[in-house]
Each structure stands twice: as C-alpha cells, then as structure tokens.
Structure 1
C-alpha cells in the first residue's frame, strides 16, 4: 500500500498540467499529420477510380471469344476495384480519427481537470484497470531494494529517465491501514492552527488520503486526532502564541490580503506554512518591522529588473 501511494504520487506529479498541455499539442500535431494523410488518400482514390473505369472500358471492348485476353483484363479490373475499396476504407478510418480528436471544449475541460489530478486519481469511478493502464503508459519498470526498515524504489520511465523513492516498511504488528507518519505530523501541526472542519479541506486539496484511501471529513479528522491523542484546536490558541493568519494580519495593518501575500513573497514579512495551501502563520511582532511599515506607506517598490518598464500615463485634457 505504501509503495502504491508513493508511486501514484510521483506519477501524478509527472502528469502535471504542463504534461497534459504537451500531450494535447502532440494530439494536434497528429491531427495535422492525419489530415495530410487523408488528402493523399483522397488523391490516390481519385486516381484509382480513373484506373478502374479505364480497366472496365478495356474489358468491355475486348472480343469475348478471346478468353485469354478477356481473363487478364477482368483480373486487372478486379484489382483496380480492390484498390478503390481499400482506399475508401482507409479514408473512412482517417475521417473517424479526425472526428474523435480533442475539440476546444474538451481541451478546456481537460486542462480544468488537470488542476485536481489527485481527486481524479482517487475518484470512485476510476477503476483499478484504468490506473494500471496509466502506470504502464508512463513507467517501464519499478526496481525495489529491501533494506531493514525501508524500501528503496527506482522508477524507470518510458522516456529513459529514472526517479528514486524511499518508503518505510511496516513494523512488526503494524497493519497496512495505519496512516503514515508524515500525515500524522501534518495533522498535529494543522491542529495547532485550525479546527477540524478547516483541516479536512486542506488535506483533501493536498491529495492526502486516510489509511483506507478515503477523503477527509470533519468526523474523520476528529477520530484521527482521538486515536493519535492530538489535542483539538482551542479558540484563541494562536492569539496566546501571538500568531496571526493572513486575514488577521491584513485587518491589523488595514490592507488587503494580497498586500500581505506580496510582502511575504518579497521577503519583507516573515511567515511560515505547515504545507502548501495551509494558512500563512505570521508573528504579531513582525508586523511592526520598519521594512513592513515602509512598504505599506510607500507602496510596493518598482522591480529593478531592466526588462520591466514603467508606462507613463497622461491625464485627459
């Protein structure tokens, strides 16, 4: 189960929206090649019709008593008709391929789905056979080396690259439905910031699943905490530690959430995240830093990148 989870996560990382975009581009190139083949087949079919009509005229003009010549002309006529039938079948097949190509609406849908690949992978409608077909399409083989307490995996991709992974082995008496230590640590840290009903969507957006492969709900988070003896989040717990989240920091400074995000990304306001998509945690004392106050007062500084230029705006007359 742990190997399955580790390999699935690595494959989902590889099948990113950029990879899907590349696949769609390849489909478009194949469609162009198919269109060119279709034009060539249509020209060949036109020539084959001409040759079939010519062979028929020759057959009709021969003396029936000359059986040797008539037989040869009949064979040529039949060969021409077989060529016509073969080309017509090829043209029908190529036209069906064109009609089944990815359209604009389907392209938009695929790119939208690409943003939530873990949810698609773990959806109940996705069969085991479908997942296996995807894995076989991108992976050539998986080599596993067993060591005490851990497994070393080498994923050989179809393109020739390889990726190394490490998976912890189950300890003696540990069943396969035990949640991994990373998830337990993640819930521990999130529980110091958020209540159960807010932890569940964070875990689901990250693609983290329970030990039985289920998505998280408020009840499952609560049961998980109870089993692992993780204290519940208390209202006002962050305030006691003098910590703020993004919205609280924005309200304290009287600015928008996006302004706080810019300050964090510019390195002016220290902040930490337990994991991607988790709330930013900001120390209350950092809001009074001179660099932060100056940036808010004067606005965000213009980038020093020479490729970015300021556009002058002239007021209306």
Structure 2
C-alpha cells in the first residue's frame, strides 16, 4: 500500500531530500517507456512515452555555441565587472565570498574561478595603474596623500566630508584624487576631526 501511495504522488518521491541521483534514475526508467527527440535548428522537440500509454510533448531551446546549463545571474556579472576595474582576481574572490555569492555551480570563489568567469563574460583583467590614470584612489592611498590614518579617512567619508564610492560592502572605497584638495578636508584634519591615528589601534581593513 505504501508503494502504491508513492506511485500516486510521484513529485513527493522525486523531491524527497533522501532521494539520490541513482534513485531518480530508477524512477525515470520505471515511469518512462521511451523518449523520442526531433532535432531542429534552434530547439529540440521531445515526446515522452510513459508506461501505460500516455505521452507528453516538450520543447527545449538548444544552448548557443559556448553556452552551458550553468549560468550566473546578471547582478553577479555586473558586480565582477565593476570590481575588475579596481582589484586583481585574487582580491575579487574574497569580496564575493564575504558577500555570500556563489558561482553558477554553487561553489565559493577562487582566483582561478574569477579569472575563468571574466574570460567567459569578456571582462578585462585589472591592470596595475589604471586607477591612477582615472585619478582614483583607494583607502590606504588617500591616507598616504593626506598623511593620516586609514580610520581617519573612513571617518571623513562617513561624516560626509569626503565623497567616496563603494561598489558593494567589502569592496574598496574609491576616492577621486581631486576631492582630497577640498578645503573642508584640510580644515577637518587641522581641527583634529575626525579622529587621528592612535598607534595602539589596529584595523582589519583589507583595502
């Protein structure tokens, strides 16, 4: 009786977390008599003949050349595209992992996976010096220019005195070099606001 009940509720059996790949294969072999495939230019026409005489027609679009069934969402592609203008591959991987983003296959990111992803999506590799050509600085570079600590620069940004962009949480702050010359920045530093460097303080910032 239990077996008959399962047969009447095939989706429950198929989606059971305990069902292995081999179990699902056995279900298909038991339920489907044959599959007839007609190949067309851009699609596949399938006819599934079930045990018992019923049949189902399906239409499946063919993958384009170079495509596979594993796809990463558009937001991830755009994020990697933005990060690749700021960071090399080995620095992009930990940013994606901290955000909890996974690859199309559900894997964590490594330098190699980022490199392969860029190649598949035609994203140029980060080139040393390109930020300087755009007159853009990251946190530690701005701190050196201003002769203050990185935490001081962060405080300037958070207080709205120093404009900065951040592609996503965990990505570097990007600061325009020209904005460091703002009179309000020098005035704030001269007044001792925001906080100045303290040799006893440490930062976990990787920027």
Q: TM-score, normalised by structure 1?
A: 0.41
Q: Tell whether 2:167 aligns with 1:257.
A: no
What secondary structure sits across from 2:166 in the alignment?
coil
User: Deviating runs (4+, > 6 A) in structure 1?
Assistant: none
Aligned to 1:191: 84
Q: Tell whether 2:112 aligns with 1:244.
A: no
- Flag the structure with more relative contact order, 1 or 2, with Cα contacts below 8 A and sequence separation at least 6: 2
Distance 1:198 1:252 in 2: 23
Q: Tell whether 2:167 aligns with 1:274.
A: yes
Distance 2:121 2:62 in 1: 17
Count of residues paired in the alignment: 134
Give unmatched runs, 5+ long, in structure 1.
1-127, 130-170, 303-317
Between Structure 1 and Structure 2, the one with more helix by share is: 1
Distance 1:289 1:255 in 2: 15
- The CA RMSD measured in Å over matched residues stands at 2.0
2:183 to 277, 290, 314: 290
Determine which structure has more spread, i.e. the larger CA radius of gyration.
1
Distance 1:267 1:242 in 2: 20
Between Structure 1 and Structure 2, the one with more strand by share is: 2
Deviation at 1:192, TM superposition (A): 0.1
What secondary structure sits across from 1:177 in the alignment?
coil
Aligned to 1:227: 120
Distance 1:173-1:295 versus aligned 2 partners, 3 A rule: farther
Q: TM-score, normalised by structure 2?
A: 0.62
